[in-house]
């Protein structure tokens, strides 16, 4: 049997690299990490708590066109504080969908990046 040890990275398609990098750095506070000189694609790698998020430029249409659907593929990140996260999103004009008492057993906040990739922000249930 295959023995998986951990995630190495998550890669998502973006259409405007500069806009997406600004979003992930400013809204999520991620830091850029070195990326080797890959000639076949443009992109940026970001650190997410020791794991990697790869933003890769895709010149075609992305699949996200309609409303938020959590059945679509998405990136989930654990955040420290639910209300502080909502306050930050509101202060920065980021639309979100809050699910403070989700059936999953933890609180969820959903946002989308500029290319409508879904990001789930998770936190232990609020008091």
Q: Give the CATH number, domain containing residue 89.
A: 3.10.180.10
pLDDT tens sequence across 3-23: 666 777 888 888 899 999 999
For the stretch 105-125, pLDDT in tens is 888 899 988 888 888 898 887
Residue 1 belongs to a domain? no
Would you say residue 2 lies in a domain? Answer: no
Question: Is residue 51 one of the residues assigned to a domain?
Answer: yes
Residue 54 lies in a domain: yes
Say which residue the tokens 């890769």 belong to: 56
In a domain, 28, yes or no: yes
Report yes or no on 45 lying in a domain: yes
Residues 6+ apart with CB under 8 A from 77: 28, 48, 49, 119, 120, 121, 122
Q: Which has the closest alpha carbon to 41: 12, 63, 64?
A: 12
Q: What is the pTM of this model?
A: 0.73
> DSSP secondary structure string, 56-116?
EE--S--S--SS--TTS-EEEEE-S-HHHHHHHHHHTT---EEETT-TTSSEEEEEE-TT-
Within a domain: 41 = yes
Dist CA 16 CA 113 (whole Å): 11
For the chain, the domain total comes to 1
Span 19-42, pLDDT tens digits: 999 999 999 999 999 998 888 888
Range of the domain at 69: 9-123
Decide if pLDDT at 67 tops 70: no
48: β partners:
51
In a domain, 86, yes or no: yes
pLDDT grade, residue 63 (50/70/90)?
low
* Separation between Cα atoms, residue 92 and residue 15, nearest integer Å: 22
């Amino acid at each position: 049997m295959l023995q998986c040890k951990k995630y190495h990275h998550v890669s998502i398609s973006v259409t405007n690299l500069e806009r997406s990098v600004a979003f992930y750095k400013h809204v999520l506070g991620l830091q850029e990490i070195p990326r080797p000189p890959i000639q076949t694609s443009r992109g940026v790698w970001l650190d997410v708590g020791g794991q990697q998020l790869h933003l890769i430029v895709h010149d075609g249409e992305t699949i996200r066109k309609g409303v938020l659907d959590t059945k679509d593929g998405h990136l989930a990140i654990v955040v420290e504080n639910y209300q502080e996260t909502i306050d930050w999103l509101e202060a920065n004009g980021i639309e979100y969908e809050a699910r403070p008492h989700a059936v999953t057993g933890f609180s969820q906040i959903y946002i989308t990046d500029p290319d409508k990739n879904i990001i789930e922000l998770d936190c232990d249930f609020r008091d």
